[in-house]
C-alpha cells in the first residue's frame, strides 16, 4: 500500500469533513495516511493524529516548514485540499523532475480576491501549483473549467459527498412527522405554520442579508430557522434587522445534528454568493425537502436535474417568489422533494469516493494516465 499525505489549511466546513472521512477510509483500505493541517482544523474535526505543521504567517517557523517539507517529500502522493494547500505543497515539493512524489490538488472554493500587487503574485503561485499538479480536481464544474483555463494539464470533476445522505434517504414519512414534532417542541414553533430552514455559516459569502430581505417579502406566515455560527458582528446586525422588522427568522447558532431540521422542513433556502457542491444542499435533497438557491457554482450542478428552484443570486424578491410557489402548492413541493431524493439516490457515497481516490492514487504512482 501507499504512503499518502493529506494537506489542508484552516477549515470549518465541508473541506474538513471530507478530509476526515477520506483519511479514515484510506486507512481502512490499508494505506499509511498522514494529515498535515492547522490546529483549528484538527480540533474541529477530531483529527487527533494530525501533524500540526500548517505555517503561521504571523510567526514564521523555519523548523516547522522544514518538517512539513520532509513529510511531503516522504509520501508517494500528496493530496492538497484547497488553493492555499496546493500552492504550499507545490512550493515545498519542487518540480516533478527533482521529486517523484505525485501531487493531487483538489479545489473546493473560488480563489479569494486579493488586491494588487499581492493579488498578481497569488495568481502566479496558483498557476504554478496547477501546472505542477499531476491531477487537479474541482468539487464543481466551474472550478474544473477555471483550473483548465489556468493551465492544469489534467483537470477533472470530483464531487464531494455528504456522509449524511444515506441516513436521510432512509427516512420515511413517520420519521418526518417525528422530526417535525421534535423541532416544534424544541423551538416553540406554531405547528400550523410552514417551516423554512437554512443551515449556513454566518459569513459574508452566505449573503444572509438577502435572506432577511426575502423573509420581509413573504406573504405566507412561516417560521424560518437559521442554524449555524460564525461572524459575531454580522450575526448581531442580522438579528437587529430581524427584530426591527418583526420578521419570523430565528438564528439558532450551531446545531450539531441538523437531520431533524431538514426532515421537518417544508422548504430549504440558501442565499450564498457562491458554493461548490454544498453538503447541506445534498442533505436537503436527500431529505426530500424542496430547495431554493442561487444559480451559482456547483448549486447549478446539484439542482440542474430537479429538486428545487434556482434563482438569480442576491435577489430577495426571486427567493420570496420561489418560496411562495412551493408553500402555496404542497403537491408541487412534494414533487420537487421527490425529484431531489431521486437525484440523491444515485450519488456516490463517501465509501465510493474513497475507493475512487484509491484507484486514482494507484494510477498516478504507476504512471497510468
What are the φ/ψ torsions at residue 202 (nearest 5 degrees)? Answer: -90, 95
Residues whose CB falls within 8 Å of the CB of residue 192, separated by 6 or more in sequence, listed in order: none
For 308-320, what is the mean pLDDT? 98
Q: Hey, what's the cell of 56?
A: 503561521
> Is residue 120 very low, low, confident or very high in pLDDT (cuts 50, 70, 90)?
confident
- The closest alpha carbon to 31, from 356, 348, 361, 364, belongs to 361
Contacting residues for 121 by C-beta, under 8 A, at least 6 apart? none
Does position 116 have pLDDT exceeding 70, yes or no? no
pLDDT at 118 (0 to 100): 76
pLDDT at 369: 62
Partner residues linked to 292 by β-bridges: 269, 309
Strand residues in 248-327 grouped as ranges (E): 249-253, 267-269, 291-294, 308-311
Contact of 138 with 149, CB cutoff 8 Å = no
Cα distances (angstroms) measured from residue 161 to each of 16, 136, 294, 307, 348: 12, 18, 20, 17, 7
pLDDT category of residue 128 using cuts at 50, 70 and 90: very high
- Secondary structure (3-state) at 164: coil
pTM metric for this prediction:
0.92
Sign of the four-CA dihedral 16, 21, 22, 28: positive
- Mean per-residue pLDDT, 292-300: 96
Mean pLDDT for the stretch of residues 317-343: 98
Confidence band, pLDDT 50/70/90 cuts, at residue 106: very high
24-82 pLDDT tens trace: 999 999 999 999 999 999 999 999 899 999 999 888 899 999 999 999 999 999 999 99
A 10 A CB-CB count for 235 gives 18
Amino acid at each position: 500500500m501507499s504512503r499518502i499525505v493529506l494537506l489542508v489549511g484552516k477549515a470549518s466546513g465541508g473541506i474538513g469533513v471530507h478530509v476526515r472521512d477520506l483519511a479514515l477510509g484510506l486507512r481502512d483500505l490499508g494505506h499509511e495516511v498522514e494529515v498535515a493541517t492547522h490546529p483549528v482544523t484538527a480540533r474541529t474535526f477530531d483529527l487527533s493524529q494530525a501533524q500540526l505543521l500548517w505555517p503561521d504567517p504571523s510567526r514564521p517557523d523555519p523548523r516547522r516548514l522544514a518538517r512539513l517539507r520532509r513529510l511531503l517529500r516522504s509520501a508517494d502522493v500528496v493530496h492538497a485540499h484547497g488553493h492555499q494547500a496546493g500552492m504550499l505543497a507545490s512550493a515545498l515539493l519542487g518540480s516533478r523532475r527533482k521529486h517523484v512524489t505525485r501531487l493531487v490538488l483538489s479545489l473546493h472554493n473560488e480563489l479569494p480576491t486579493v488586491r494588487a500587487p499581492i493579488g498578481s503574485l497569488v495568481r502566479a503561485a496558483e498557476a504554478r501549483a496547477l501546472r505542477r499538479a499531476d491531477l487537479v480536481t474541482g468539487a464543481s464544474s466551474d472550478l474544473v473549467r477555471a483550473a483548465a483555463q489556468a493551465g492544469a494539464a489534467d483537470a477533472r470533476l470530483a464531487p464531494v459527498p455528504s456522509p449524511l445522505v444515506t441516513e436521510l434517504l432512509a427516512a420515511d414519512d413517520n420519521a418526518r412527522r417525528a422530526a417535525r414534532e421534535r423541532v416544534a417542541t424544541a423551538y416553540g414553533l406554531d405547528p400550523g405554520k410552514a417551516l423554512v430552514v437554512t443551515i449556513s455559516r454566518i459569513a459574508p459569502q452566505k449573503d444572509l442579508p438577502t435572506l432577511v430581505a426575502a423573509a420581509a417579502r413573504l406573504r405566507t406566515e412561516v417560521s424560518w430557522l437559521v442554524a449555524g455560527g460564525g461572524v459575531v458582528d454580522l450575526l448581531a446586525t442580522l438579528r437587529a434587522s430581524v427584530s426591527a422588522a418583526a420578521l419570523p427568522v430565528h438564528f439558532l447558532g450551531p446545531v450539531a445534528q441538523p437531520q431533524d431540521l431538514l426532515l421537518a422542513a417544508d422548504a430549504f433556502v440558501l442565499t450564498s454568493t457562491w458554493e461548490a457542491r454544498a453538503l447541506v444542499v445534498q442533505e436537503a435533497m436527500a431529505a426530500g425537502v424542496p430547495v431554493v438557491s442561487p444559480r451559482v457554482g456547483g448549486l447549478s450542478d446539484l439542482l440542474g436535474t430537479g429538486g428545487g428552484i434556482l434563482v438569480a443570486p442576491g435577489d430577495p424578491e426571486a427567493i420570496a417568489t420561489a418560496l411562495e410557489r412551493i408553500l402555496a402548492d404542497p403537491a408541487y413541493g412534494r414533487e420537487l422533494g421527490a425529484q431531489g431524493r431521486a437525484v440523491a439516490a444515485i450519488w456516490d457515497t463517501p465509501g465510493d469516493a474513497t475507493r475512487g481516490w484509491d484507484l486514482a492514487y494507484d494510477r498516478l504512482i504507476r504512471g497510468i494516465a
